[in-house]
Structure 1
Amino acid sequence: MKKDVKLLGMAAMFFMTFASCTNDELRECYQGEEISFTTRVTRAVEMKKENLTEFKVYGLGQGSNSFFINGQTAKKGDNNIFNLEQSAFWPTGEPTVKYWAYAPTDITADVSMSAGSQIFNNFIPGDNIETQKDLVVAYTTVKMEDAAKAVPLQFHHALSQVEIKAHCPSIDKQVYIKGAWIVNVNTIGKLQFSTAAAAMNYIEWTSGTPGKYGISLDATQLGSKKESATPLLAGKTNMLLVPQTVKGYDFEAGSGAYILLLCRVETHHDGQIENDPEGGSSQSGPIYNDVPKNKHIHQLFPITKEYNSNAYGYTCVAVDFDWKSGKKYVYNLDFCGHTSGAGVYPPENLPEGLPEGDDIIEKPGDKDPGDPVLDNPIRFTVDVDSWSSGHDDGLEEEEVEVK
């Protein structure tokens, strides 16, 4: 209330000075309309309209070279109206204003904003996928008459969302996963608002600095009883990564991207192997007799001399990644199906920070990187979900067989 009284007093003073001005002219000469914002966030898992509570905003008059709103924070109030911490008013003589905004306000990037360029340099989604934050950005040009109540801002997801699932349709095979990673994808990027990228909501990415993303897991059984694919990041958030295009790993060239898995493959059969109550080996791998269940188990992978229920090994599948802003990509890995196996042996130089130990079995000496772990490579399908849309636009599905 005090603020309103003060403004009225100042308006009266202007009225006395410019006695010939009309009320509309007086308002324009004084300060224009006070600016607030309404928001809409496209459908997402991480950042939604309900949990968007504040954002940074920049405002630039069409004929100006300097921001009249320069990185102020707008905070959520009643009825989804966001108000600036320090009030700003529509600039005098500017019928049209450009606005840029982003959230969260504490992103890991070097934000460089000017009238000529709006850039987030060295943006890092974060190495720990459990603490990654969704990044939403908005750009709009608004006429004064269209912002009578508040400036409407449409936020878009700037990152790509990636999920890995796995499935084992085999009747007798069981697959256990203890870790999943995407390797040799760019972990740092530069985001720039670009009028040339209107089809991508003015979001343009340049990526660099390859690394890995993923997580170690408790042993997750896929098994034949799983009718649908098992999310390998179950209970965790999906990966939020820099949009990019990377070719799948080429074993001859020694470069490219791949999905790395720490896994174990067994096959279970009824009955026991006679004369071998303590275990042994066969052409199908070391054997364990499960006497109480009257079954025997072949350890197909990793390869060890004796059966070891704790043994796991690394396998991989080369994948072409083509990620766009605001899209969700689901990689469905098909283990031990009719025409699929368990992947191939990965490159020699694996990334740092992966699980190690006596139960992580290395590649046999007679195998080379790129050789199949079992008879066939993994097959997978890629689902591309329109994460950027607030409506159900359907699902594109591309089936790919990895050689």
Structure 2
Amino acid sequence: MKCSVFVVAVALVMASCSQDETTGINKGSTIRFRTSVERTTRGVQTTLADLGEFKVTAVGNGANYFTDLGVSSSDNGATWTPAKVYYWPSYDLDFCAYAPQSLAGVSVSADARTIEDFIPSATVADQQDLLIACNTGSKAANESSGVSLNFKHALSRISVKAKCMNPDMQVEVLGVKICRVPSTATFTFPSEVTSESYVLPQANWTTPTTPADYVVRGGSAVTLTADAQSIMFGDDGFMLIPQKLTAWSQGAANDGAYLSVLCRISSLDGGRATQLYPVPTDENAGKYAFSAVPIDTDWQPGYHYAYTLEFCGANSGGGLIDPSPTNPADPDDADVDPTPGTGGEEILSEPIRFSVTVDEWKDAAPENMDM
């Protein structure tokens, strides 16, 4: 059955608030900041020490007091220096901060506080952790202590591991991709203070549009064992927009989300390997092909989703043929078989089984022999 071609385990990881990193503060009459960043297993992980810089906008009395003010640290987050000096006005201020500073589409004012049409980088290695923080402050409350900005991770991180449970099967992995993930959405900064206990809702993102494919490609293959190992090839994870995924229907059309492993599957007999997938021909000798499994996870902001794919186990096989079997970053990738078969078909189908019967002994006709 198609539902059992892979066994997929998903681990969810979110740091507790007690693991936040905090800094010292600068005291004085100017507006100053002290920051914290949730310490998590996310990636590409941004910590307080490597946050380095952020931008912040202050809104009060119906207008922006300052807009996209750069704030940086030269001592790994111990102190923070604004690019310009501002003094406290007589009224309260709302602060919206974000990192990285290069983020496009940010619009913070008295009327709207959004990141318009956010799109993760098409290159996984260039995808960055999106951090946001919000707080209110006043001269009376914060002139001495500084404004606390507790940054929250606004994206979901996805990483993939794999294992092969049959010692007589060999699965060599050269890459992994995540496909048909809607990847354009608008983020609204929360109206609440992003305190240590605050949980950023998925609803702060609009429903994403424009499905995209993302791939991580290794330089050399990893041979799977019975112990799960990362197949991210040095990348910490896909950093993508939180959303409820609609799963691929397991047919020839790539009509929903799925994970796909660039692999070569062989049967072993002693030291001899017989390639089973992609089915060997003169044209694809030595090549790999994508093996897919649908996913419909409900990704939340600030969570790490660690998928573990099991090949050739008691209830798993080799996956399904990918309905879009090319490398999205390099459609002419010479290591990829672009025509491994019809999308959605089982790669290994059912294992070889035997039906055994034993005939009853039959008595032959007796013979008389003269001596």
- Report the TM-score when normalising by structure 1: 0.71
More displaced 10-residue stretch of structure 1: 186-195 or 141-150: 141-150
Partner SS state of residue 51, structure 1: helix
Q: Does 1:316 align with 2:297?
A: no
Residue 85 of structure 1 is matched in structure 2 by 83
Distance across 2 between alignment mates of 1:156 and 1:256: 29
Residue of structure 2 aligned with 1:130, choices 114, 125, 129: 125
Would the alpha carbon gap of residues 197 and 146 (structure 1) be closer, same or farther in structure 2, given more than 3 Å must change? Answer: closer
One-letter code aligned to 1:54: E
Secondary structure of the residue that 2:94 maps to in structure 1?
A: strand
Tell me the equivalent position of 1:55.
Answer: 54
Q: CA deviation at 1:360?
A: 1.5
Amino acid across the alignment from 2:159: E
Which is bigger in relative contact order (C-alpha 8 A, separation at least 6)?
2
* Matched residue, 2:257: 257
Work out whether 1:72 is the aligned partner of 2:69. yes
Aligned-pair distance for 1:357? Answer: 4.0
SS at match of 1:68: strand
Task: Tell me, in whole angstroms, the C-alpha distance in 1 between the residues paired with 2:201 and 2:148.
Answer: 17
**Unaligned 5+ runs, structure 2:** 1-27, 352-371
In the alignment, the residues of structure 2 paired with residue 105 and residue 202 of structure 1 have an alpha-carbon distance, to the nearest angstrom, of 23
Amino acid at match of 1:313: A
Aligned-pair distance for 1:261?
A: 2.0
CA distance in 1, matches of 2:74, 2:340: 59
Q: Distance in 2 between matches of 1:355 and 1:182?
A: 18
Q: 1:141 is matched with which residue: 136, 142, 160?
A: 136
CA-to-partner distance for each residue in 1:88-138, whole Å, 9 max, x for gaps? 11111x2x321110111101x212221121111121221111122211110
Write the letter of the residue equivalent to 1:89.
Y
- The 5 Å alignment of 1:226-245 reads 226-245=225-244
Deviation per residue, 1:180-234 (Å, 9 max, x gap): 11000022221111448986436711222111111222342333xx342121113
Identity score, percent: 29
Match of 2:210 in 1: 209
Give 2:116's aligned amino acid: N
Asked whether the 8 Å contact 1:195–1:202 carries over to 2, the reply is no
Report the Cα distance in structure 2 between the residues aligned to 1:222 and 1:351, rounded to whole angstroms.
Answer: 20
Which amino acid is the alignment partner of residue 340 of structure 2? K
Counterpart of 1:267? 267
RMSD value, Cα: 2.8
Pick from 25, 37, 41: which aligns with 2:37? 41
Q: CA deviation at 1:348?
A: 5.5
Query: How far apart are 1:144 and its partner, in Å?
Result: 4.1
C-alpha separation in 2, matches of 1:334 and 1:359: 22
Map of 1:1-400 to 2, 5 A cutoff?
33-44=29-40, 45=43, 46-61=45-60, 64-76=61-73, 80-92=78-90, 94=91, 96-107=92-103, 109-147=104-142, 148-195=144-191, 200-201=199-200, 204-206=204-206, 207-223=208-224, 226-251=225-250, 254=253, 255-270=255-270, 295-305=271-281, 310-347=286-323, 352=328, 353-357=330-334, 360=337, 362-364=339-341, 368-375=342-349
Equivalent position SS for 1:245: coil
Amino acid at match of 2:272: H
Go from structure 1 to structure 2 and tell me whether the alpha carbon gap of 1:363 and 1:172 turns closer, same or farther (over 3 Å shift): same
Listed as ranges, the gaps of 5+ residues in structure 1 are: 1-31, 271-294, 378-403
Distance change >3 Å, CA 114–CA 87, structure 1 → 2: same
Asked if 1 retains the 8 angstrom alpha-carbon contact of 2:327 and 2:336, the reply is: no
* Cα distance change, pair 183–359 in 1 and its aligned pair in 2 (3 A): closer
In the comparison of the two structures, how many residue pairs are matched?
312
